Amino acid sequence: MSAPSPHAPLAITMGDPAGIGPEIVAKAFRDGRLDAALVIGDVEVMRRAVRCIGATMLPVAVIERVADLPRVPPGCMPVLPATQLPALPAFGAIDAAAGAAAHDCIRRATELALAGEVGAVVTAPIHKEALAAAGIGFPGHTEMLQAYAGAPEVRMMLANDELKTVLVSIHVSLRRAIEAVTFENVLQTVRIAHRSAALWGQPKPRIAVAGLNPHAGEGGLFGDEELRIIGPAVEAARAEGIDARGPFAPDTVYMRARDTADHPGEFDLVIAMYHDQGLIPVKYLGVERGVNVTLGLPFVRTSPDHGTAFDLAGSGRADASSLVAAAEMARRLAAGRAAGGTG
């Protein structure tokens, strides 16, 4: 992989063209909140998105290479075509062609990031059923990016200005998520979280590890994974010099970690054992504030903390706040990587 310049632009993928991704991207450009960025997408999809939000003064500027970006006039939305749909998909409908197009944009953005042409990748929402309909064998962004980047292990982090949580498992059934709570998976999640925290200025993060069972097993009364697996993984991490603690009761650890002006958090991030255990607390504080970050990739990738919102697609009412937050975090993390941090 080539190292990007600290001033390299952001690549913003358009997401599923039947969802709100293209219009929130267009809104962010319209409002002047995506400087030094380009869209990886379908030109006609992005032109339709501009019409949806009534942004008559936002021209779409088609570019052939990232290097063309400095020549784009101010006030335009630069689009680097990565796909061309045979027809514009209907809003709010699962469409195999839309899923394939979203996938093509992600793959192209990954190539640009690995080549060092862009400083980070911000992905607009995709629809998992549309991916499946297109025959794409990945359940989501995280697994797709891991494969195309050749990353040995990655983890999902969801973050806002009050909480950060990193997941041991991601898009699997609850039964499989429980099976994924192994000594090695928990320890490796702690390691990746510890190593990645340098990107946002915390080289020695205080890491809380949540238990799997109610009350963290209550000494083995409600399950023994804490005693057999999670606790030993925490001790192994501590032996490596990582400030990891736990396992803690999962229904209270987030309250302890939440960092506000009135309540400084006891921890800098929380390791969650499965998807909903970690995402519910962060999303409860406000979807518009949350950002999804993939840790362990050889480049920075963030995304909004919401899905395709098919019920809103095409209405022009979708909120671009989470996308903007994702872009802002991508810039901070890319700057941390350029300064010598790892992800």
d(CA 256, CA 284): 16
Per-block mean pLDDT, blocks of 10 residues, the chain (343 long): 74 97 97 94 97 93 96 95 95 96 97 96 96 92 93 93 94 93 98 93 95 92 95 98 97 95 94 95 84 94 93 94 94 84 60
Enter the tokens of residue 60. Answer: 């779409």
CB count within 10 Å of CB 64 equals: 8
Identify the CA nearest to 16 among candidates 94, 119, 120: 94
d(CA 330, CA 245): 28
pLDDT value at position 113?
96
Q: What is the pTM of this model?
A: 0.91
Q: Inter-axis angle of helices 21-30 and 43-52, to 10 degrees?
A: 70
List, as residue ranges, the binding site for a divalent metal cation.
171, 215, 275
Specify the DSSP class assigned to residue 228.
I
Consecutive H or E run containing 323: helix 321-338
Q: What is the pLDDT of residues 309-341, one digit of tens each?
A: 999 999 999 999 999 999 999 999 998 887 766
pLDDT value at position 337?
82
Strand ranges inside 98-193, DSSP E:
120-123, 155-159, 164-167
Which phi and psi (to 5°) does residue 255 adopt? -65, -35
pLDDT value at position 199?
86
Nearest-10 Cα torsion for 16, 167, 135, 112: 60
Identify the CA nearest to 278 among candidates 290, 264, 266, 263: 290
Amino acid at 239: A
Enter the tokens of residue 157. Answer: 């982090």
List, as residue ranges, the binding site for substrate.
141-142, 283, 292, 301
List, as residue ranges, the binding site.
141-142, 171, 215, 275, 283, 292, 301
pLDDT value at position 56?
86
Is the bond preceding 264 in cis, omega lying within 30 degrees of 0? Answer: no
Which phi and psi (to 5°) does residue 246 adopt? 125, -170
pLDDT value at position 6?
60
d(CA 26, CA 42): 13
pLDDT value at position 1?
61
d(CA 105, CA 114): 14
